[in-house]
Amino acid sequence: MSVNGLPPNVHISFRENVTQPELRQAAERSIATLIASFDKKVEQTLVTDTTKAKLQTNVHAQDDRSSLQSIDLNIPDTAHIRTLAIVPPFDFTWSWFLPDGSPPTFQNLNNETGEVGLIARSGAVSGEGGVGAPGFIAAHAGFGIMLSTDREVTATGYASRRFVPKWHLSSIESTDSAMVEAGTELTVLKDGQLVNSASGKLFSESVQGNGGGRYESSGYVDVTNPPSLSFAMSPGHQYTFNVGIWVFSNKSGSQHAFAESWLSGAVLSMSVVR
């Protein structure tokens, strides 16, 4: 079930059993809050990108060519007090991109399996068979669960995540620049207002002038950053715990500059200990 009345750069879809209007409205407000928060970060990134001139690999992939499977979570021994553990399908899916940029080149979001993938391509990426956006792409996608409580409690959210990261960028002319970033994020919102958030980058690369580089993981990376997210809960409020990914690409200068950010995998489970 999709939410109507959202701007074209936002999409939210619910499981069929999530029919209460107040729950859907809480999720809609939550995503709107996240978009406004991230918009400011992208503005800072675009300003920083004009002065950056570096290229280094931050990804350390584990070689795992096997199919997606469950991985261990570092949930404390007190988890037996009260633990909510959910595997796909989750309560809702969400995706959005900043309208000042372009939509993602590719998106996969499957609530039945927990699979999620995004590609952001700026410029004509060599050997990829397609022309990307003329400027930047900032896109997010993921899953959410609804939470409430009958007592004052401190909760901690966890997520089992596994992804394949990939990036490719190049610039030739002295006025060229290119940048790629991708990562995973955990967020908690209370009645549509941001309570806590954490984001972990899988890579962040940029080049200016004559240069470039590329990287592709040889297998799935078990993502543990951010490891968890803690938040206070009170009765009478609606909370959403969201787990997602984001990609960013940007290029400027000549037609030869390009950037591609690629992240694909799955959220295998979401857990809340309280």
The domain segmentation of the chain, as residue ranges, is 10-273
Q: State the Rg of the chain over Cα.
A: 19
Q: What is the pLDDT along the chain (274 residues), one digit of tens a residue?
A: 444 457 889 999 988 877 777 778 888 888 888 887 766 555 555 555 544 444 433 433 333 433 344 344 454 544 446 789 999 999 999 999 999 999 999 999 999 999 999 999 999 876 665 678 999 999 999 999 999 999 999 999 999 999 999 999 998 888 899 999 999 999 999 998 999 999 999 999 999 888 899 999 999 999 999 999 999 999 999 999 999 999 999 999 888 899 999 999 999 999 999 9
pTM of the model: 0.83
For the chain, give the secondary structure using H, E and C.
CECCCCCCCEEEEECCCCCCHHHHHHHHHHHHHHHHHHHHHHHHHHHHHCCCCCCCCCCCCCCCCCCCCCCCCCCCHHHHCCEEEECCCCCEEEEEECCCCCCCCEEEEECCCCEEEEEEEECECCCCCCECECCCEEEEEEEEEEECCCCCEEEEEEEEEEEEEEEEEEECCCCCEEEEEEEEEEEEEECCEEEEEEEEEEEEEEEECCEEEEEECCCCEEECCCCCEEEEECCCCCEEEEEEEEEEEEEECCCCCEEEEEEEEEEEEEEEEC
Q: Give the span between the Cα atoms of 192 and 27, in whole angstroms.
A: 7
Given a contact cutoff of 8 angstroms between Cβ atoms, the answer to whether 7 and 96 are in contact is no
